[in-house]
Each structure stands twice: as C-alpha cells, then as structure tokens.
Chains A and B, each alone.
Chain A
C-alpha cells in the first residue's frame, strides 16, 4: 500500500496549475454609470421612434410605420439617420481598411480570402504586385503560376479596394507594405475592438512589428531587417527567429488576449502600455484571470494618465 502511494506521488510531482471554479465577478455598473449616461441602448424589437421623419439605417427595420431596432446595441443618430451599432459583429469592410486574411481558394484570375467578413473577399490577379515589381498586363502564364504566389492556407495582409454590391470585399496588395505573411503569430479578435487609425502597421520598440487588421485579425512578427524591393511582397524569410524575439511575440499575444477579454480598444499605445505593465509577470501567467485583470487595470490607468 505505502509503496504504491509513493509511486503515485512520484508521477504527480510535475508542477501543474489547477484551480476550482470561482464565482463570476459582477461588473460594477454603479461605478461606471457615468459612462452609460449618454448612451441609448436598445434590444431587438424595441421601438426607437414612431416619428416618420427619420431615415432607417443599419440595425433597424420598419415595423408598421415604427422604426424598430433589430440588433442589441447603441443607437447612433446622424441628423435624420438612425442606426443601431451592435456590440459584436462580423467585419463590415470599408474602402481603405487594412485586413489580414487567409487564402481559402485559388480560382481563375482570383484568390478567395477569408477575412472574417460575411462573404469571402476576393483578391484579383490584376490587383497584386507580381514578384519582380514590373507593371504589365497579366498573361495566361501568370494565371497558371498563381499557385506559386499564394496557396490555400497562406496568410496575407491587404487593403480593401472596393466593396461589391452584395457586400463582398475586393482586396489589393499593390504596395510593398502588403503581401504574403511569413513567420509570426495570428490572433483573431473582435473587429469592434480595433481602433481606426492613420496607420495599422507598427514597429513596436520591443523589437516586434504588429499589423492590427481592421477585421480583427492581428499579426505579430519580428521586425524585418531590410525590405527586399525585388520580391514585391512575396519574399518570406525562413530564417530561424531568435528565442528573445519569440518570447516578446508570445508576451504580446497574451497581452492582446488580455486586452480583448476586458474589451480595451486596441491601438499601438494600448498594446505597448499593456506590454510594459505585464513585465513583472511571467509570460504564461498573463493568461490567468487575476493577473489579466491586474495588467489590464494598470494599462487602463496608464492610458487615462496619458490622455490627461
């Protein structure tokens, strides 16, 4: 019996972190009621107005002459236009948005790209920079060589060129900024958490670069040493990434997950502040709920101080 027990103890000597379920913390609404004051929150079926002088926008429908909400969210009024913006949706692309996506299909003259939007986006062969950077008509040979550039499963960064009538997006990669993504980490978050900014490509001072796609896909990768002009965005480095770089990327990933769990808007400053405030903790510990909460709280404070 005793010998048996000691054998069992030996096998469980490996450190494992176990925890019991805890009661979910209630978000204190009283403290943040001031933030809710100016907001008009509605749920599906709520009548927003029965006045006929308004225009029907997204998230609403006309029910017997009454303007009614069809999603749960916040009412936005722009002059006569009334919209309801839901808390969480799929990506609604606009021209100029930066997206990160995954190639799902290779078709004639086009690639289908999954971008978290409600239909797969299209990347036309005519809207990519071919390797070599030369500008010419796309020939039949190029069509045959499409799989040499992008394959099913490849990740790309691109910009929204136009929106089709059915809501599908047309993408382009006609800049050296865009193109195939090589080594790095993809994180899928809610598109509503990405703050719209002048630029979505950032080289963070911690030696890592980040692409905050408007579609909620975030790409973390080691800052490239030099840009190879000739490759036209299709060069992928297969050099081993150093351990320190990988650690920074992992830390950033966990920070991004923490920020998104606490619904903090994502942009370069918030990511960087979160990275800084996570430094006292081990990388793997950032995902623990209590550490997550602490790190995000410090980040929020820093952001408040910075705003003044």
Chain B
C-alpha cells in the first residue's frame, strides 16, 4: 500500500492519538480592543483568529439590506505563511470564497438575525497556521468572537472534522490525514439541540458507514462545545469580577 499508514495495528494514529481523540484546544476571547468581538483558538497546530464587527449599518452596496433581518458578511482568509508552501493570495481564491460561503451559512443558522433588521454583521476569520480542520477551527473561533461581541446566538456552533480509515472513524483530522485522500467530513453542530448547521463531505463513502461517521463527528463537536463553554465562562467570570468591584 502506498502512502502513510493512518491507523496502526495498535489503534494509534500518526500523531499518537487514539481514533476518536481530539487535539488540544486552547482559546481566548477579547484579543482586540478595536473590534466589537474577537477570539483566538489553537486546535493542535491549527491556529485561527476571528474578528466580529457589528451589527452596524449596511456599508457598501445598499441593495444588500434586508428589511426583516441582518446581513451576515463573512470573509475567510489564510495567512501567506500559514501553509508549508507560501500562499500567493491570502483570500479571494476559489477555496477561500467557498469557505466564506460555508461560514456564512453556518452563522445564519445560529445567529438570531431577525433581531437586527437592516443591519450587517461582519465576521472575519484568518487562519494563522494550517494543520487540518481549518474550517472547524475558523467556526469555533468565530463562535467565541460572536459571543464576545454580545450578538445573540441560539447556541454555540461547534465544528469538527471526521475521517474514515480501516472501518474506523477518526475525529479531528490533522493535515497529513486530511491530505491522504480519504474521506473527510466537516460538521458544524448546535450541540444542545443536536441541530446540524453545516455538513460537508469530500470523497466517497459507503452509505452504511455514514451513520457511524456522523455519530463520531457529533460526539467530537459536543466535546469541543464543552471546551468552548469553559472558555466563555472563565472569560465571563474574569470580566464581571473586574467590573463588579
């Protein structure tokens, strides 16, 4: 068999994780003073920064204004130094445009946009270091940034990727596993109600396996939501301890 052995006989992956183990997640809210909301997240070696502006008056083309809800404007970009080969265009290429659209769809499902008619919410996501799961790191960072901005959400949006190797679902794929050419499923979940905000799968997978794969992705999303929850509560306590005195 050509290529890397993604899952060893002992059940360990390339980076020494078990099949359904996640990478270490570290996050921080309120990293910028100028923006309405901002957050930084590290999921293993994938690092993402999200910034939220708004809700504010629709800028640019007035015609985009919606009279019953807010417009969500997303921009996904990757720093030129984020990948092993230097990138030419940080944003605006096909892949980034697609990612921006996915982000937009995800957050339209979660943000209570009907509370802000004729306004606009800007979400900017930048990947500083890319090691697989860029979309999910971006979504998780953006969730924290939206919460930091005080914009009403139905629930956290948590995203995670999952793959399928040797009849076993793997969660939170790293770059090597993602580029191996196998199945990769990205899921964004509203964990409390179990609503799926976005589901995307590349490559083929037998229908029988889809359920187990989705199950694994959902469990992973729920674990991530616990970590994000801790981060938000910690931030909340710190800030209200300072103002409360």
Interface of A toward B, CB cutoff 8 Å: 27, 29, 32-33, 35-36, 39, 41, 43-45, 59, 61, 63, 70-74, 86-90, 112, 114, 118-120, 166-167, 261-263, 265, 300
Residue of A nearest to B36 (CB): A90
Assess the A71–B240 pair: CB atoms within 8 A.
no
Given contacts A45-B155, A88-B148, contact A27 B117 (CB under 8 A): no
The one of A36, A43, A262 that contacts B240, using a Cβ cutoff of 8 Å:
A36
Residues of chain A contacted by B119 (CB below 8 angstroms): 118-119
Question: Which residue in B153, B236, B245 is a CB contact (below 8 Å) of A87?
Answer: B236
> Across the interface, which residues of A come within 8 angstroms of B152, CB to CB?
44, 59, 61, 70-71
* CB-based nearest B residue for A60: B152
Select which of B112, B191, B232, B241 is within 8 A of A29 by beta carbon. B241
B147 with A71: CB separation less than 8 A: yes
- Cβ-defined contact, A119 with B118, below 8 A: yes
Please tell me if the beta carbons of A88 and B37 are within 8 angstroms of each other in the complex: yes
CB distance from B212 to the nearest CB of A (A): 27
Taken together as a complex, chains A and B put the C-alpha atoms of A35 and B150 apart, in Å, by: 22
**Contacting residue for A44 out of B56, B118, B155, B244, CB 8 A:** B155
**Tally of contact residues, B, Cβ under 8 A:** 41
Tell me if A70 and B154 are in contact (CB < 8 A).
Answer: yes
A120 surroundings in chain B (CB, below 8 A): 57
- Quote the shortest CB–CB distance from A257 to chain B (angstroms): 9
* CB-CB under 8 A for A72 and B241, given A44-B155, A118-B116: no
Q: Which residues of B contact A (CB under 8 A)?
A: 30, 33, 36-37, 54-57, 112, 116-119, 147-156, 190-193, 229, 232-233, 235-245
Assess A61 versus B112: contact at CB under 8 Å? Given A43-B147, A44-B153, A88-B149. yes
- Complexed CA–CA distance, A110 and B244 (Å): 41
> Shortest beta-carbon distance, A132 to chain B, in Å?
32
B55: chain A residues at CB < 8 Å are 90, 118
* Chain B residues, Cβ within 8 Å of A61: 112, 152, 154
